[in-house]
Structure 1
Amino acid sequence: MILITGGLGMIGAHTARALVDLGHQVVVTAHRRTEVPSFLAGRVAVESLDVTDRNAFLALADRHDISDIVHLAGSIPDKDPVAFFRTDTIGLLNALDAARAWGVRRFAVASSLGVYIGAAETRWHEELALPTADLPHLIIAFKKAVEPLTTHSLQGSGVQPVVLRIGSIWGPLMDPESPFNPIPPYINAALRGEQPQPLYADDGGDSCYAPDAGRAIALLMTTETLRHTTYNVSSGRPFTNRELVDAVRTITPGPRPGLLPGRRNGPGDDPYLDTTRLTHDTGFTPAFDVATAVADYVAWRADNPR
């Protein structure tokens, strides 16, 4: 059985779905979010767990035979950065403690495309040296620290670490007004019959539809042999706002979203995650392009609040 902490969040739920579709048993933990999405109802075991409670975390093994862990649980920072770092570090360390105590096969942890911030290259691949740079958000700072904390904690344990450098993910279960990805707010404005804020046609970059991200993580957990520790998780296909707006115009009624010419900050290219390593080791290819992702998301939102 594969354990996913934070398994009712957007990425966790889609990972659970992909694992179940591949024939695996899954247990997900949830703390604040308790509603099980329709595509997981009756298909996974759900445990209420605060991952900062070490004893409760370790007690999961009394009820489930856990073979692998995907650690996606995390909190949102408030005004106290130390409290945020303390909470998420304790959760990570408890998950690592459990992985070692249970002797699991593989332990995957969420990092971020943000670790590449400051790189001069626009094709971000795993062999790039991570630059020293000011980071724009506490979450990205923590994700960058997660990588060595995980790999060093598991050295000599027999547990294989898998660092997931997750791209900009959007799709079903994301807050429709999320500040972390502009696509859902843009589509939802169109769905409400409002005129979305104009986008620059040639801006874009890295964005991955959540079912694809979940399937990529599921493949990294179930592929027999992984040749690396660190993997980019995204579509591997940079997109432009022109593609997004064309797809929204095709699907949604009401005002037709407009485009501003060129790029907000002048000529250049937006960075994206190279997924060659992911594809080579797992066979992953994205099932959705921009148009099919928008169509699927609009269909989902017809019956779901987020």
Structure 2
Amino acid sequence: MILVTGGLGMIGAHTARALADLGQEVLVTGHRRTEVPSFLAGRAEVAALDTTDREAFLALGERRAITAIVHLAGGIPGEDPVEFFRTELAGLANALDAARAWRVRRFAVASSLGVYAGRAEARWHEDLPLPAADLPHLIVAFKKAAEPLTTQSLRGSGVEPVVLRIGTVWGPLVDPESPFFPIPSYLNAGLLGETPRPLVADEGFDCCYAPDAGRAIALLTTARTLRHDTYNVSSGRPATNRQFAEALADLVPGTADQLTPGGATGPYLDISRLAGETGFAPAFDVRAAVAHYLAWRRANPR
């Protein structure tokens, strides 16, 4: 059985679904809610868990043979950054304790493409040294710290660490008004017949549809062998606002064009390592992802 902490969030739920599709038994945890999304219903066992509670965390393994952990649980910072770091660190430490106590084969932990902040390259790959940069967000700061904390904690334990540098993921369960990525709100406005907020037409960015991200993580978790401990997780190709707007206009005729001219492609994640070792290739291009997401939103208006 594979444990996915935060398995009811967007990335976690799609990872759990992909693991189930690979024939794995899956246990997912949620903290403040245990409502299972429709695409995961009947596919995984669900447990309520506050990851900062060490005894409750370790108790998950008392009656289950857990062979791998995918640690995706995480919170949103409040006003006190120290409290945020304390909570995130406690959850990570308890997950690492559990991995060692249960002698799992593999421990995967969520990092972020934000760890590359400060690199000037257009394509970010795992061998780039991470710069000492002013990081854009508290979440990114913790993810960057979690990488060596994980690999050092598991050294000599027999547990194989897998650091997941996850790109910009969107799709079913994403916050429709996400402050981190404008595409969901643009698509939702078009779906509701409202005028979307303007976007710069040719601004390009790293982008990965959630079912693809979940499948990539599932493949890394279950691969027979891995040659590295760090992997980029994304689509491996940039997308532009124009591509999303054109897909929306094609699928929802009459949507107002809210593109302004200009823009350039920003950095994106190279997934050569992921693809070469697992055979992963994204199943969704921009149009297919938009079509799938709009269908999901129509069936799940909340």
Please, what TM-score do these two structures have when normalized by structure 1? 0.97
Distance 2:199 2:158 in 1: 48
For residue 194 of structure 1, report the CA deviation from its aligned partner.
Answer: 1.1
> Which residue does the alignment assign to 2:174?
174
Query: Which letter maps to 1:52?
Result: T
> Which residue does the alignment assign to 2:282?
286
User: Unmatched 5+ residue regions in structure 1?
Assistant: none
Distance 1:244 1:16 in 2: 27
For residue 257 of structure 1, report the CA deviation from its aligned partner.
Answer: 2.3
Deviations 1:8-27 (A, max 9, x none): 00000000000001101000
> Which residue does the alignment assign to 2:115?
115
Query: Which letter maps to 1:44?
Result: A
> Which residue does the alignment assign to 2:199?
199
Q: Secondary structure at the match of 2:212?
A: helix
Distance 2:94 2:243 in 1: 43
1:28 equivalent in alignment to 2:28 = yes
1:299 equivalent in alignment to 2:295 = yes
Distance 1:255 1:67 in 2: 48
> Which residue does the alignment assign to 2:235?
235
Q: Secondary structure at the match of 1:302?
A: helix
> Which residue does the alignment assign to 1:100?
100
Distance 2:194 2:47 in 1: 40
What pairs up with 1:219-234 in 2 under 5 angstroms?
219-234=219-234
The CA RMSD measured in Å over matched residues stands at 0.9
Distance 1:44 1:102 in 2: 20
Query: Which letter maps to 2:285?
Result: D
**Structure 1, 177-186 or 47-56: larger mean CA deviation:** 177-186
Q: Quick one: percent identity of the two aligned structures?
A: 71
Query: Which letter maps to 2:270?
Result: D
Distance 1:269 1:234 in 2: 16
Deviations 1:18-58 (A, max 9, x none): 00011010000110132101111111100000000000000
Distance 1:14 1:110 in 2: 14
Within the candidate set 258, 262, 271, 1:275 is matched to 271
Distance 2:254 2:239 in 1: 24
Please, what TM-score do these two structures have when normalized by structure 2? 0.98
For residue 69 of structure 1, report the CA deviation from its aligned partner.
Answer: 0.1
Q: Secondary structure at the match of 2:38?
A: coil
Query: Which letter maps to 2:152?
Result: H
User: Unmatched 5+ residue regions in structure 2?
Assistant: none
> Which residue does the alignment assign to 1:38?
38
Checking the alignment, whether the CA contact within 8 Å between 1:2 and 1:24 is kept in structure 2 is: yes
Checking the alignment, whether the CA contact within 8 Å between 2:200 and 2:262 is kept in structure 1 is: yes
Query: Which letter maps to 2:228?
Result: H
Distance 2:60 2:78 in 1: 29
